[in-house]
Chain A
Amino acid sequence: MTATALPPEAPSDLTSSDKGAVADRAFSGAALGAGVAILAILGLIAWATISKAWPAFAEQGFGFLTVDRWAPSQDVFGALSMVYGTFVVSAIALLASVPVSIGIALFTTEVAPRRMRSAITLVVDLLAAVPSVVYGLWGVLFVAPSVTPLFHSISNVVGDWPLLGSLFGGGGGSGRSFLTAGLILALMITPIITSVTREVLATVPRGEKDAALALGATRWEMIRGAVLPHSFGGMVGATMLGLGRAMGETIAVALTIGSSFQITTELFESGAAMPSTIALEWGESSGQHRAALIGLGVVLFAATIAVNSGARAIVARAERRMRGA
Chain B
Amino acid sequence: MTVVDMPTDAGHDVEVSLEANLSPARRIADHAATAAMVLSFAVAAVPLVMIIGYVFLKGGQVVDMAFLTEAIPNSYRRVGPGMGPAVVGTVIITAAASAMAIPLGVLGAIYLNEYGKQNRLARTIRFMADVMTGVPSVVMGVFVYVVWVLRFREQTGFAGSLALACLMLPIVIRTTEEMLRLVPDELRLASLALGARRWRTTLTVVLPAALPGITSGAMLAVARAAGETAPILLVTGLTFDTNWSLFEGNNTTLAAQIFRNASQPYEGAQLRAYGAAFTLILLVFACTIVARIISARFSTTR
A318 at the interface (CB under 8 A from B): no
CB of B135 within 8 A of CB of A107, answer no
- Give the contacting residue for A34; candidates B48, B104, B258; CB below 8 A: B104
CB of A119 within 8 A of CB of B3, answer yes
B65 at the interface (CB under 8 A from A): no
C-beta contact mask, B1-28 vs A, less than 8 Å → 1, else 0?
A: 0010011001100110010001000110
Distance in Å: Cβ of B281 to nearest Cβ of chain A: 6
A104 at the interface (CB under 8 A from B): yes
* Known A130-B281, A131-B227; contact A249-B136, beta-carbon cutoff 8 A: yes
CB of A308 within 8 A of CB of B37, answer no
- Give the contacting residue for B143; candidates A6, A21, A49, A120; CB below 8 A: A49
CA of A216 to CA of B121, assembled, Å: 49
C-beta contact mask, B92-121 vs A, less than 8 Å → 1, else 0?
A: 000000000001111110111011100001
C-beta contact mask, B128-143 vs A, less than 8 Å → 1, else 0?
A: 1111111111111111
CA of A37 to CA of B169, assembled, Å: 9
A24 at the interface (CB under 8 A from B): yes
A112 at the interface (CB under 8 A from B): yes
CB of B284 within 8 A of CB of A218, answer no
- Give the contacting residue for B44; candidates A23, A44, A187, A249; CB below 8 A: A187
CB of B207 within 8 A of CB of A3, answer yes
B298 at the interface (CB under 8 A from A): no
Closest A residue, CB atoms, query B207: A3
CB of B202 within 8 A of CB of A27, answer yes
CA of A255 to CA of B124, assembled, Å: 37
Q: List residues of chain B with CB within 8 A of the CB of A126.
A: 48, 52, 285, 288
CB of A250 within 8 A of CB of B274, answer no
Q: List residues of chain B with CB within 8 A of the CB of A293.
A: 142
A2 at the interface (CB under 8 A from B): yes
Distance in Å: Cβ of A45 to nearest Cβ of chain B: 5
**Chain B interface, DSSP helix/strand/loop, else mixed:** helix
Q: List residues of chain A with CB within 8 A of the CB of B18.
A: 216, 218
CA of A289 to CA of B277, assembled, Å: 32
Q: Size of chain A's interface in residues, with CB distance under 8 A?
A: 100
A195 at the interface (CB under 8 A from B): no
Q: List residues of chain B with CB within 8 A of the CB of A2.
A: 103, 106, 203, 207
**Chain A interface, DSSP helix/strand/loop, else mixed:** helix
C-beta contact mask, B229-267 vs A, less than 8 Å → 1, else 0?
A: 110011000000000000000000001001100110000
Q: List residues of chain B with CB within 8 A of the CB of A163.
A: none
* Known A133-B229, A221-B30, A301-B139; contact A190-B44, beta-carbon cutoff 8 A: yes
CB of B51 within 8 A of CB of A138, answer yes
CB of B227 within 8 A of CB of A133, answer yes
Interface segment out of the listed A71-79, A148-156, A264-272, A275-283 = A275-283
A124 at the interface (CB under 8 A from B): yes
Give residues of chain A (189-246) contacting chain B, Cβ–Cβ below 8 Å. Answer: 190, 194, 216, 218-221, 223, 241, 244-245
Distance in Å: Cβ of A258 to nearest Cβ of chain B: 11
B125 at the interface (CB under 8 A from A): yes
CB of B230 within 8 A of CB of A187, answer no
CB of A308 within 8 A of CB of B134, answer yes
Q: List residues of chain B with CB within 8 A of the CB of A325.
A: none
A284 at the interface (CB under 8 A from B): no
* Known A107-B7, A305-B135; contact A282-B233, beta-carbon cutoff 8 A: yes
- Interchain Cβ contacts under 8 Å between A and B, 15 examples: A24-B197, A32-B115, A34-B110, A103-B36, A103-B37, A133-B262, A137-B262, A187-B44, A218-B29, A275-B136, A278-B141, A282-B234, A297-B138, A301-B135, A308-B130
Closest 8 pairs between A and B when the two form their complex, measured CB to CB: A248-B136, A131-B227, A103-B40, A27-B199, A308-B134, A34-B107, A31-B111, A297-B142
| Sample of 6 more A-B contacts, CB < 8 Å, known A137-B274, A251-B259, A308-B133 | A36-B121, A38-B128, A116-B3, A141-B262, A218-B15, A248-B136
What residues make up the interface of B, taking CB atoms closer than 8 Å to A? 3, 6-7, 10-11, 14-15, 18, 22, 26-27, 29-30, 32-34, 36-41, 43-45, 47-48, 50-52, 54-55, 103-108, 110-112, 114-116, 121-122, 124-125, 127-143, 145-147, 150, 166, 169-170, 173, 195, 197-200, 202-204, 207-208, 211, 223-224, 226-230, 233-234, 255, 258-259, 262-263, 270, 273-274, 277, 280-281, 284-285, 288, 292
